[in-house]
Amino acid sequence: MRFPGFPKQSIPLERGYPLHLALFLLTIVSTIWAGAFWGGHPVRFETLPLFISTFTSGIPYSLSLLLFLSVHEFGHFFASLYHRVRATLPYYIPLPPLPLFLSLGTMGAVIKIRERIPGTNALFDIGIAGPLSGFFICLGLLIFGFLNLPAADFIYTIHPEYLSPGGIPPHPQGETLSLGKNLLWIALEYWIAPKNLPPMSEMYHYPFLFTGWLASFVTALNLLPVGQLDGGHITYAMFGMKGHKKTAKIFLLFITLLGFPAFLQLMLSLLKSDAAPLIPQLMLHWSWSGWLLWAFILSRLIGMNHPPTDNDHPLSVKRKIYGWASIAIFVITFIPVPFRVT
């Protein structure tokens, strides 16, 4: 494979096709399984027809999620090929159907860059290609999901108990997982205005909306301007090493402050302290304790700094425009409180 303007020699590429294929097939199975669970039809083994019908109900979720992950990672991959940077094909990471808080059937997908990035242009293009291409899939899933909602009584096929007095939760029995909204969701909800839109506590039963929501959440996480995340690559290329360091510290402080009130309430509740109700409700409304975990992962495991390229130089105006577009995508996909349990 050659690109115009390159010497007539093979593009450097790591090959491990059997492993990549095996992980991809396992991820298909695990995401279909997870999709059946979230769709309200857990896989059952009593008879073969029942197994097939319950298992295949997770296919829309699986295909939607894998489409987003694949487009995102192959965006990075093809940008690496374009700049002749040695890279692997995507490694898909299957996650067996475990009784976890949010078992999605996969932990995502990654490619590995096998050599130092040659220059700022290559760093920027490789960093932005994934979230930019993945965002269009995310947008398409959300629009399709909003425009193709099932009838309002669909939720009763999954939860017939909601027909009883009391209706759709928050319900007196048990806990309810509710998804948060970002600016993109709020805008599409307003413009499309579906009449039969379910509450956010039931959104995970709707595969296209759920995967679109997941895609926007993952896009925002990848665009965090910290370390060697996609957002870190973009920030380093746009603002240099000093600008990257300042931005990374600011965002680490931001997500720490965003997570602290909810974490403090959780700790006080576990200790059965009388001080727990004293935390202002407005602070708790905009707080998710998971951001503290992310702050720890970013600062201690992933790292805050970004290594220099072989040739750091200013970006062109065109690339800077794309860079600011990625910052806008981060703003509209970021969810201050992604999950809330009531």
**Tens of pLDDT, residues 195-217:** 888 889 899 899 999 999 999 99
Q: Is there a single domain that holds both residue 191 and residue 315?
A: yes
Query: Do 30 and 149 belong to one domain?
Result: no
% of the chain surpassing 90 pLDDT: 62
Dihedral sign from CA coordinates of 59, 62, 64, 67: negative
227 in a structural domain:
yes
Contact criterion met (CB below 8 Å) for 266 and 292:
no
Q: What is the C-alpha separation between 214 and 212, in angstroms, rounded?
A: 5
When divided into structural domains, the chain yields a total of: 2
The whole-angstrom separation of Cα 47 and Cα 24 is 27
| pTM of full prediction above 0.85 | yes
**Which of 87, 115, 143 represents a domain boundary (last residue)?**
115
Q: Please check whether residue 104 is in contact with residue 214, taking contact to mean a CB–CB distance below 8 angstroms.
A: yes
Residue ending a domain, among 82, 115, 148, is 115
Query: Tens of pLDDT along 150-200?
Result: 988 888 888 777 777 655 554 445 567 889 999 999 999 999 988 888 889
**Structural domain contains residue 257:** yes
Same domain, residue pair 90 and 167? no
Claim to verify: residue 161 and residue 63 sit in the same structural domain: no
Structural domain for 317, as ranges? 132-342
Sign of the torsion angle spanned by Cα atoms 61, 67, 68, 73: positive
What is the pLDDT at residue 105?
Answer: 92
Same domain for 319 and 267:
yes
Residue type, 291: W
Banded pLDDT at 117 (limits 50, 70, 90): very high
